[in-house]
């Protein structure tokens, strides 16, 4: 019951979610007001699943207990680092912005998309390395402990999860014209390559005898729920299992996208051949 009712309010995260959601809805309204179509699935993916996952991670009991139980934090981590970026990417917000913004804002957005900084950060091998290295650096340095003691750093950590996940997943599963595009085969290999890293990190956390953030969690002196070391074992299992499950789902999404793209390419090629055949037929008649 506490997990269902123990919601909290994070002003910074709530403001970001509301602002981004309103901007997206304004873009959809402008597009449809001029008679252009916009997929309802994209809207649902971005607002309902993407921003909805962010609300769940930062306003629900996941946020209430994320500094009390490492297992809750770990579930929150996976939602922010994987679910939010994937569903947001499928909502194609950059495409929506490019189709609805005025000339000057659109040119500024295009300048950002083609900037050297974004090209470097979204370079697939680098984005993959950041996505894999971030949790190792977080849990095996003083970084995580610092976020437990400072609320602002804690909020920045949430945004960092989303940012790194977006740099990795948007060029892979997204529909937007962002840098770092790869052929579908390489995209699927990259996603598949994340599975052993999540498994190895999860098993490492589960097998540790030293507590992550030990000073903080022992000072809480909690008398309910699992013991700190048992809770850490649960956290490692969550990291392992959820990372593999979400990774396999993304792998499946990429496969479906690849099949659909192949079908569209086949249709385009058939039309091209039909046009060439028709032109050849007209040339023969004229001759």
Per-residue pLDDT of the chain in tens (287 residues, 90 and over written 9): 777 777 888 888 999 999 999 999 999 999 998 888 898 999 999 999 999 999 999 999 899 999 999 999 999 999 999 999 999 999 999 999 999 988 898 899 889 888 888 888 888 889 999 999 999 999 998 899 999 999 889 999 999 999 999 999 988 887 888 877 788 888 888 888 888 888 999 999 999 888 998 889 888 888 888 889 999 999 999 999 998 888 888 888 888 888 887 777 777 766 776 676 666 666 555 55
* Tokens of residue 120, six digits: 């470097």
DSSP H helical ranges for 103-183 = 103-113, 116-121, 124-139, 143-149, 151-173
* Tokens of residue 133, six digits: 């290295």
* Tokens of residue 31, six digits: 């597009």
Q: What pLDDT shows up at residue 283?
A: 58
Cα separation of 154 and 147, whole Å? 5
Q: Calculate the dihedral angle through the C-alpha atoms of 182, 188, 192, 193, rounding to the nearest 10 degrees.
A: -20
Q: What pLDDT shows up at residue 42?
A: 92
* Tokens of residue 244, six digits: 């593999």
| Per-position b or e across 2-22, b if 16+ CB within 10 A of its CB | eeeeeeeebeebeebbeebbe
Per the CB < 8 A criterion, the answer to whether 49 and 43 are in contact is no
Residue 77: closest CA among 62, 90, 59: 62
The one-character DSSP state at 180 is -
Q: What pLDDT shows up at residue 287?
A: 55
User: What single string gives the DSSP state of each residue in 79-103?
Assistant: IIIIIHHHHHHHT-HHHHHHHHS-H
Per the CB < 8 A criterion, the answer to whether 47 and 21 are in contact is yes
Listed in sequence order, the residues at least 6 apart from 221 whose beta carbon sits closer than 8 Å to its beta carbon are none
Cα separation of 160 and 133, whole Å? 13
Cα separation of 259 and 130, whole Å? 29
Q: How would you write 242-272 as a 3-class SS string?
A: HHHHHHHHHHHHHHHHHHHHHHHHHHHHHHH
* Tokens of residue 80, six digits: 């922010």
Q: Is the dihedral of CA 39, 77, 55, 100 positive or negative?
A: negative
Q: What pLDDT shows up at residue 10?
A: 87
């Amino acid at each position: 019951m506490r997990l269902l009712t123990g919601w909290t309010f994070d002003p910074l995260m709530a403001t970001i979610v509301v602002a981004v959601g309103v901007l997206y809805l304004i873009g959809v309204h402008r597009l449809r007001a001029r008679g252009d179509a916009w997929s309802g699935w994209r809207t649902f993916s971005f607002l309902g699943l993407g921003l909805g996952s962010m609300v769940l991670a930062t306003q629900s009991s996941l946020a209430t207990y994320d500094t009390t139980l490492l297992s809750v934090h770990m579930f929150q981590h996976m939602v922010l680092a994987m679910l939010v970026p994937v569903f947001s990417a499928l909502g194609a917000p950059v495409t929506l912005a490019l189709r609805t913004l005025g000339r000057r804002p659109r040119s500024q957005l295009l300048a950002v998309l083609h900037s050297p900084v974004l090209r470097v950060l979204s370079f697939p091998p680098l984005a993959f390395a950041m996505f894999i290295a971030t949790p190792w650096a977080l849990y095996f340095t003083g970084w995580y402990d610092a976020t437990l003691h400072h609320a602002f750093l804690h909020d920045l950590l949430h945004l960092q999860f989303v940012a790194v996940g977006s740099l990795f997943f948007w060029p892979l599963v997204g529909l937007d014209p962002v840098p770092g595009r790869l052929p579908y085969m390489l995209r699927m290999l990259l996603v598949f390559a994340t599975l052993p890293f999540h498994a190895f990190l999860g098993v490492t956390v589960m097998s540790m005898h030293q507590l992550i953030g030990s000073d903080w969690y022992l000072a809480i002196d909690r008398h309910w729920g699992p013991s700190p070391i048992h809770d850490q074992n649960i956290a490692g299992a969550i990291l392992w299992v959820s990372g593999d499950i979400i990774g396999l789902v993304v792998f499946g999404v990429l496969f479906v996208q690849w099949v659909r793209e192949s079908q569209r390419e086949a249709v385009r090629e058939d039309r091209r051949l039909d046009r060439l055949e028709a032109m050849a037929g007209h040339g023969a008649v004229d001759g």
